[in-house]
Structure 1
C-alpha cells in the first residue's frame, strides 16, 4: 500500500498539468510505490467511506496516508512539497504554525475559483 495516495481530477486541465508535473518530480517515489496518483473520475466511490464524493475531489486535492487517514486541500499540497526534492522549503515556509491558516485560506479560495471555472467550461 502506498504511503500516500493522491486523488485528483484529470478533467481539470490546471489540476492535471500540476499533478503531472509533480508526479514527474516524484518519479522515484511513484516507481517504488510509496506515492500513487489516482484520478477520482475512474473510481468515483473511492473516498465514499470518508464522506467525500467526486465533487469534493474536483474542488480540492484529497489524499490518504498509509494509516488510512484522509488529508485534504492545502495539507495535501504541503505534503507533496515536503516529499519533493528542492521543494521542501515551500512546505516549511507555508506549512509552519503561523502560515498554515493563511496557506489553507489561499488554497481554498483558489480551489473555489478553479472549481467554478471548470464547471463553467464543462470540464466534467
Structure 2
C-alpha cells in the first residue's frame, strides 16, 4: 500500500479529541480503507514526528498531520485538510479556510486547544 495522502496525528487520551477523530473516521471510512487518509494515535508512537522537531506534548496540545509530500500541518490547518476530504464538509473548509477567515480560525482553534490541553492535564489524561 502506498503512503497515505494525509496522516493525522491525535491524542486518544483526550475524550474530546478521540470523539472528534472517531466521527471523522466514520465519515471517511472509504478513504481510510483505500489508504488515502490515516489517523494515528500519538500515544502509540510518541516520537513519530520527532524528525520535524515536534514533541509528544506538541501533538497532545494540537492536531498535527503530514501530507504525502512530507509537508507538516498543525492545528486549524489539519481540521481544514480533513474537512476538504470529508464528504459534505468541504463548505467548512471553504468558510473557515478562506484567506480572510483563516487568521481568526487559527486563533480560535489555538485558544480552544490551549483550554482543552489544560483541562486534560488537570484530569491527568497522560
Residue number in structure 1 paired with 2:101: 99
Runs of 4+ in 1 over 3 A off after TM superposition: none
**Which residue is equivalent to 2:9?**
7
Question: Which of 53, 56, 65 is the matching residue for 2:55?
Answer: 53
**1:111 matched to which residue of 2?**
113
> Aligned to 1:16, which of 14, 18, 24?
18
How far does residue 69 in structure 1 lie from its aligned partner after superposition?
Answer: 1.0
Distance 2:40 2:91 in 1: 26
Q: Normalised by the size of structure 2, how large is the TM-score?
A: 0.98
CA–CA separation in structure 1 for the residues paired with 2:109 and 2:121: 18
Count residues in correspondence. 124
1:54-88 C-alpha deviation (Å, 9 max, x unpaired) = 10000000000000111100000001111111110
2:41 aligned to 34, 39, 42, which one? 39
Whole-Å Cα distance in 1 between the matches of residues 19 and 73 of structure 2? Answer: 21
Q: Structure 1 regions of 5+ residues with no counterpart?
A: none
> Using the alignment, how far apart are the partners of 1:2 and 1:80 within structure 2?
13
RMSD: 0.4
Q: Cα deviation per residue 1:34-67 (whole Å; 9 max; x = unaligned)?
A: 0000000101011000000110000000000000
Q: Give the structure-1-normalised TM-score.
A: 0.99
Q: CA deviation at 1:6?
A: 0.2
- Structure 2 gap segments, 5+ residues each: none
